[in-house]
Chains A and B, each alone.
Chain A
Amino acid sequence: MLHKSPAQRVALAVFGLVLAGFFLFPTYWMFTTALKTPAQILSPAYDLVPLSATLKNFVNAITKPGFTTFLTNSLTVTLGAVAFALVAGLLAAVPLARLRFRGRKGFIMLVLVAQLAPLEALFVPMYLIMRDADLLNSLWGLLLVYVAFTLPFTVWTLRGFVKGIPIELEEAAMVDGCGRWGVFTRVTLPLLGPGLVATSVFSFITAWNEFLYALVFMREKDKQTLPVWLSSFKTAFGTDWGGIMAASVIYAIPALIFFLLVQRKLVSGSTAGAVKG
């Protein structure tokens, strides 16, 4: 099955590259449009490959007032939510996978049902809770909201990964003289690598992308995040596609960096643990 004739191999490679092109194109088009002048963008010429490039769109976007504040806010909230969700999720996943206690099934049910709720629906009660807790216009408030959105998936997936680690490995380490903490940091944690990557990617996307709650909860200008910033571009520039694309690229870059950093683990592990017993 893995032995193919050269013709087959070429055909498969071509097919693979066509698919790669399909998935690359929008991102590619975003980058190249961002490098064009307004005249180039609105020219009728067919220009799949840009012949000249300008960085003006990027300079305009970055020098828009408040950019660094939005960037810092987004990074703070997103990375904070990822870290919080990972720690709380792992803490919950270990007993769910390994310990026997009352209320275990009930909690698993809660985790599953929690993923059904449409998040736009929770908006009004969430707003009232945040208002009463004095967490409107607070990065902490937004961070907690994102943690809540991602925790069910995180707990569920990590639980599967913890279960996937043969208990004999941990016992062997104990026999070899590892303390309990040593077993956790030297055996369990490294084996959880792909699971931690898969779940942190999920929380990263959720927090980095979220728009509606960020827009309404963060009324003060210096508390807003990048998705809100990007939407402000649309009205300010109308159909200045170059400007919007440059802003989109800037908005996408931290996510791209994060993904490329974790890519190898992502490809090998993904959520395999979620169903492996």
Chain B
Amino acid sequence: MTSTVDTARSAGTPPPAARPGARRRARRPLSETALPYLMLAPAVVVMLALLAWPALQVLAISFRKLDLGELVRGEIKWVGFDNYTSILTDPEFWVIGLRTLLFTITVVLATLLLGLGIAVLMRHLSGWVRGVLQVCLVLAWATPIIATTTVFQWIFDQQYGILNKTLVLIGFDSFKGYSWFTSGTSTLAVIGLLVIWQAVPFIAFTLYAGLVNTPSDLYEAAAIDGASGWSAFRAVSWPSVRPLLTLVTFLSVLWDFKVFTQVWAIRQGGPDGESTTLPVLLYLRGIAASHFGVSAAVAVLMLVVLVAVTWRYMRLLVRSPETEL
């Protein structure tokens, strides 16, 4: 840690000689060459042992027949692409996959629109209203997932839920005793609302921070030039928010595509499997039914979809000058 600043300076500022050439680097003492690796070591060890290694094993397991019997006996039975064939030829998989994609797209879009709207709104609110809104957002964000999920079940309860009571009170008598969980679509709608409710605070605060960091004289300059409202937003706010918006879109896609706890807790993928998404399928095939090979194949397929969806952005991230020194 102690020599960080020294090395950082030699790397970060243009040195007298145009680039620190190989000759100079070779003369660096060993302790300095080893330093970055020593600092990375704890993170690398944990990530390799508990993420990369299990991930490789999942890949290997996806080519094996691994049920409870094989697991207990420690038997290794290779079956080639059997697990993949059995999944990909199962029409249910395609239905579930499509459902998961639609769910993800809807939830991500709604979260981003609401988050961006709230971020912009916070800039325009007077002090105390903004304070109240921020505290409420923080409370929503902090409430643990399982607690929130339980409350949503209670709010949407068929008989005593406050939502149905409210709807009846304002005149929609048909909602007396109405069950929100009889169809997959309405079950997923409730789950979507729950996920959005939990995800918006993070998005809103991130984007708000981007907006606040925009120098205010830019807005004044825009105002002098006659820009107002929408055009000022486009000219001034948008450039500073856009990279953040891309980042939170990336994160939201990752998180919403993999949502499991909420879907499982609400109806275990029911009624009749109609709200089952890919992570739930993964759980059902794997931990619930002990077909770990099949389950691993589902995981690999999920990963393929995610990589396909986010590939361009990841390449952008790795190649951008921002990851350079």
Contacts and interface: CB of A to CB of B under 8 A. Distances in A.
Interface of A: 1-2, 4, 9, 12-13, 15-17, 19-21, 23-24, 26-27, 29-30, 33, 41-42, 44, 46, 48, 87-89, 91-92, 94-96, 98-101, 104-105, 107-126, 128-129, 144-145, 147-148, 151-152, 155, 163, 167, 170-171, 174, 179-181, 183-184, 205, 208-209, 211-212, 216, 227, 230-231, 234, 241, 244-245, 248-249, 251-252, 255-256, 258-260, 263, 266-272, 274-275, 277
B232 to A, nearest CB: 5
Contacts of A100: 11, 20, 325
Nearest to B134: A267
Interface of B: 1-9, 11-13, 20, 33, 35-37, 39-40, 42-44, 46-47, 49-55, 57-58, 61, 66, 71, 118, 121-122, 124-126, 129-130, 132-148, 150-152, 154-155, 157, 160, 162, 165-166, 169, 197, 200-202, 205-206, 208-210, 212-213, 219, 222-223, 227-229, 232, 243-244, 246-247, 254, 258, 260-261, 279, 282-283, 286-287, 292, 295-296, 298-299, 302-303, 306-307, 310, 314, 317-318, 321-323, 325
Contacts of B2: 179-181, 184
A167 B1 contact: no
B61 to A, nearest CB: 7
26 contacts: A1-B222, A1-B223, A1-B228, A2-B219, A16-B133, A26-B152, A26-B155, A30-B147, A89-B43, A94-B4, A105-B318, A108-B323, A115-B254, A117-B51, A118-B282, A122-B51, A124-B57, A124-B296, A152-B51, A170-B5, A171-B5, A174-B5, A211-B261, A227-B144, A245-B151, A263-B138
Contacts of A270: 202, 205-206, 208-209
A263 B134 CA distance: 9
Contacts of A4: 124
Nearest to B248: A271
B314 A112 contact: yes
B143 A268 contact: no
Contacts of B227: 1
B232 A19 contact: no
Interface of B is mostly: helix
Given A2-B219, A129-B53, A263-B134, A252 B121 contact: no
A15 B321 CA distance: 41
Given A30-B151, A112-B314, A122-B51, A42 B160 contact: yes
B46 A144 contact: yes
Nearest to A9: B126
A41 B205 contact: no
B23 to A, nearest CB: 15
A7 to B, nearest CB: 14
B206 A151 contact: no
A58 B134 CA distance: 28
A183 B205 CA distance: 30
A90 B139 CA distance: 27
Contacts of A267: 134, 138, 205, 208-209
Given A23-B140, A244-B150, A41 B51 contact: no
A215 to B, nearest CB: 10
